[in-house]
Amino acid sequence: MVVDNKVMLITGAAQRIGAHIAQSAHSDGYNIVLHYRSSIKQTQALKEQLNAIRSNSCISVQADFNEETTFQTIIEKINNSFNRLDVLVNNASDFFPTDLSDLNIDDYNKLFSSNVKGPLFLSKACYPLLKNSNGTIINLVDIHADKPLKNYPVYSMAKAANKMMVKALAKEYAPEIRVNGISPGCIIWPNEDISENDKTEILSRIALAKHGNEKHIYQALIHLVNNAYITGQIINVDGGRSLNM
C-alpha cells in the first residue's frame, strides 16, 4: 500500500511503538508529524532519517500534556507544512506504578494528562482538519483498560477512560471521522527492570505462547485506517493474553 500526500500525526513518536509507527507509515507514503514531550534528540534523529528518505516529508512538534498546552500551535504547524491531516495516532502515555498508600496528586495528574486529557483535547483540536479529509483517530489503549494491572491502579483507570474516549468520540464525530483503538498486550517489555522469571510467567499466559512486536501494532493500525466501515472498536493485539487475565 502506498499513499500520496496523506499526513499522519503520532504522539509520543520518539521511540518504541510510536517511532515504529512513524517509520512504517512513512514507508507507506505518509507524511509524518512527530510529537514529542522531552525526547528532542531522538525525535530530531528520526526526523532527519525520514527527510533523508523523502525530503520535506516529516516535521516535529513539542507539547507536554502535563502542562497547559496550546494545541492550536500544533495545528498551525501542520497547516503550515502540509495543510491537511488524515490520521491522528494518540500513542503518548506515561506508565508507572502507583502505591495507593502514598498516592499523590502529581502522579494522578501525570497519568490522566498523558492518557486522557492530551488525547481528548488534541483530538478536539484536530477535528476540523480530520473532518475535511474524512480522517481517522486511533488511540493506543491497553488490555489493562479491562482488567487492572497489579500495582498500577491509576494507570489502569486512565486507560479505561481512554478506551471509553474511543467509543464516545466515535459516536460524536460520526459520520465524518472514524475513531478506533488498539489495546497492545506483551509487545515491548517496560523500561524498568523485569526479571526473567516474571517474563516467563507472563509469556506462559499468552495463548500464542510468544512475545509480540511493534509490527503487529502497525498491521492492526493500518487495517483500522484503511477499512472505512469500522468505528468505535478496540482491537486487542495481545496474542490471546486477555483470554487468561
**Distance in angstroms between the alpha carbons of the first and the last residue of the chain:** 36
What integer pLDDT is reported at residue 69 of this predicted model? Answer: 72
Residue tagged 488498539 (cell numbers): 182
Which CATH number do you get for residue 117? 3.40.50.720
Q: Looking at the domain assignment, is residue 51 inside a domain?
A: yes
What integer pLDDT is reported at residue 1 of this predicted model? Answer: 61
Q: Pick left, alpha or beta for residue 7 (phi over 0 → left; psi -120 to 50 → alpha; otherwise beta).
A: beta
Q: Looking at the domain assignment, is residue 64 inside a domain?
A: yes
Distances (CA, A) of 103 to 5, 30, 159: 46, 42, 18
Q: Report the number of distinct structural domains present in the chain.
A: 1
Q: Looking at the domain assignment, is residue 86 inside a domain?
A: yes
Q: Looking at the domain assignment, is residue 171 inside a domain?
A: yes
- Which residues carry out catalysis? 16, 142, 155
Q: How far apart are CA 137 and CA 126, in angstroms?
A: 9
Cβ atoms of 33 and 10 within 8 Å: the answer is yes
Q: Looking at the domain assignment, is residue 1 inside a domain?
A: no
Beta-carbon-side half-sphere exposure of residue 192 (alpha carbons within 13 Å): 5
Q: Looking at the domain assignment, is residue 230 inside a domain?
A: yes
Of 183, 158, 154, 181, give the one whose Cα is nearest residue 168: 181
What integer pLDDT is reported at residue 193 of this predicted model? Answer: 67
For residues 227, 229, 234 and 236, what is the CA-based torsion angle, rounded to 10 degrees? -50
Q: Looking at the domain assignment, is residue 2 inside a domain?
A: no
Helix, strand or coil, per DSSP, at residue 140: strand
Residue 14 is part of which domain span?
7-244
Residue-by-residue pLDDT tens, the chain, 245 positions: 677 789 999 999 999 999 999 999 999 999 999 999 999 999 999 999 999 999 999 999 999 998 877 799 999 999 999 999 999 999 999 999 999 999 999 999 999 999 999 999 999 999 999 999 999 999 999 999 999 999 999 999 999 999 999 999 999 999 999 999 999 998 887 766 677 887 788 888 899 989 899 999 999 999 999 999 999 999 999 999 999 88
